[in-house]
């Protein structure tokens, strides 16, 4: 249970900071290619914080939170592939669908592997990540009853 609580706190901290950065960006959303081309230093820092926390949150959920959920439920999945874990979490109701998780992973990977210089593509990627925030919130809310009985 301690491992689950620690993983939860880590995810909750990333969510908090991601939402704080997002709140600072609200006035400029959705981001247009033109506004992406003319971001000032403060906006760049806010976007960088948002991207960093989005990526860290998604990573922490997959690497720490989901395995901790399965361990807490005494599901013998520690040595199974991630896809098996995701399928089990979906069946247990802690994950809406494996496809949703794959979308979040694809969004995360765009920032980790390819931060485009093209303003239109950068704006599209950032807007897509912003639109995915409610899904991340929903996933954490599904786990909350295990952590906060």
Q: Provide the token pair at 48.
A: 């960088």
Question: pLDDT exceeding 70 applies to what percent of the chain?
Answer: 97
Tell me, what's the pLDDT at 112?
79
Q: Is residue 149 scored above 80 in pLDDT?
A: no
Neighbours of 60 (CB within 10 A): 19
Instruction: Kindly report the three-state secondary structure assignment for every residue of 47-78.
Output: HHHHHHHHHHHHHHHHHHHHHHHHHHCCCCCC
Tell me, what's the pLDDT at 114?
64
Q: Where are the domains of the chain?
A: 2-147
Q: Is residue 45 scored above 80 in pLDDT?
A: yes
| Predicted model pTM | 0.93
pLDDT digits (tens, 9 = 90+) for 86-103: 999 999 999 999 999 999
2-147: CATH number:
1.20.120
Please report which confidence band the pLDDT of residue 48 belongs to, taking 50, 70 and 90 as the band edges: very high
pLDDT digits (tens, 9 = 90+) for 117-148: 788 988 999 999 999 999 999 999 999 999 97
């Amino acid at each position: 249970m301690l491992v689950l609580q620690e993983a939860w706190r880590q995810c909750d901290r990333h969510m908090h900071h991601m939402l704080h950065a997002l709140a600072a960006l609200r006035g400029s959303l959705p981001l247009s290619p033109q506004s992406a081309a003319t971001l000032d230093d403060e906006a760049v820092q806010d976007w960088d914080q948002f991207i960093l926390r989005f990526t860290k949150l998604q990573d922490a959920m997959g690497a720490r939170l989901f395995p901790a959920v399965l361990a807490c439920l005494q599901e013998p999945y520690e040595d199974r592939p991630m896809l098996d874990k995701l399928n089990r979490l979906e069946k247990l109701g802690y994950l809406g669908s494996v496809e949703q998780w794959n979308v979040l992973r694809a969004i995360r990977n765009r920032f980790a592997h390819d931060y485009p210089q093209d303003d239109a593509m950068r704006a599209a990627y950032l807007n897509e990540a912003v639109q995915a925030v409610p899904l991340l919130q929903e996933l954490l809310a599904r786990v909350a009853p295990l952590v906060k009985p």
